[in-house]
Amino acid sequence: MPEAPAEGVEPSAAPTDAGKKEPEAKAAGPEGSRSLKEKLRKREAEIKHLRKELDELKESYLRKLADMENLRKRLEREKSEYQQYALSGLLLELLGVVDNFERALQSAPADAAGKTFREGVELILRMFQNLLAKNGVRAIVIEGRAFDPTFHHAMAVEESDRVAEPEIEEELQKGYMHHDRLLRPTLVKVLVPKKGQ
């Protein structure tokens, strides 16, 4: 049977778990604090690294997005150009037919007997010209008489003392543009200044 404590005497404090931990917590306080600070530093470094990685990924994503947008625009432009100029070869061949119809009109008789023939050729020529115009083909108009090698091809050259710069004397065959590109240069006879002038 356990004895009751004597009166006036306090029971001795038995060591408890709480009493044991208290001195340990005090002793481990600075060490525990260092350990927590180290863990916090590691977490902050990890967060900084992850943020940097996230920023790099965002930047890479934005670059890829811009590249995709540029590629889309380039493909749109190429598609548009292809659609616009895909018929260039065919249209160039049709110009020879138009030239022949124009020659036929120049040599067709103007009398009443040839009137029906002439009207038929004119009608066909107009149809071809409308077809070409509808597809963006237009004749190069020689403005002034200045020779421009970008649009004119010299088939014949003649020296003259009447000119100071190369000048077109005669158009031998019409040139044509297809939208903003040269389809066929104008064939011309050119006057050039005499040598020694």
Answer yes or no: are the C-beta atoms of 152 and 175 closer than 8 Å: yes
The answer to the question of residue 22 being in a domain is: no
Answer yes or no: are the C-beta atoms of 121 and 101 closer than 8 Å: yes
Answer yes or no: are the C-beta atoms of 147 and 154 closer than 8 Å: yes
* Residue 7: half-sphere exposure toward Cβ, Cα within 13 Å: 0
- Domain match, 144 and 165 both: yes
- Domain match, 69 and 113 both: no
Strand 137-139 to 181-184 pairing:
unpaired
The answer to the question of residue 65 being in a domain is: yes
Count of structural domains, the chain:
3
pLDDT number for residue 25: 46
pLDDT number for residue 10: 52
Quickly list H helices, 113-168: 115-134
The domain in which residue 104 lies consists of 87-135
- Domain match, 118 and 163 both: no
Structure tokens at 160: 């003259």
pLDDT band at 143 (very low <50, low <70, confident <90, very high): confident
Which amino acid does the sequence have at 117? F
* CA distances from residue 36 to 28, 39, 43, 182 in whole angstroms, order as listed: 12, 5, 10, 78
Answer yes or no: are the C-beta atoms of 158 and 123 closer than 8 Å: no
- Which residue, 68, 86, 104, sits at the end of a domain? 86
Q: pLDDT tens digits for 18-36?
A: 444 454 444 456 777 888 9
- Domain match, 54 and 109 both: no
Q: pLDDT tens digits for 21-78?
A: 454 444 456 777 888 999 999 999 999 999 999 999 999 999 999 999 999 999 999 9
The answer to the question of residue 1 being in a domain is: no
The answer to the question of residue 117 being in a domain is: yes
Q: What's the predicted TM-score (pTM) here? A: 0.61
Where residue 156 sits, what CATH number does that domain have? 2.30.22.10
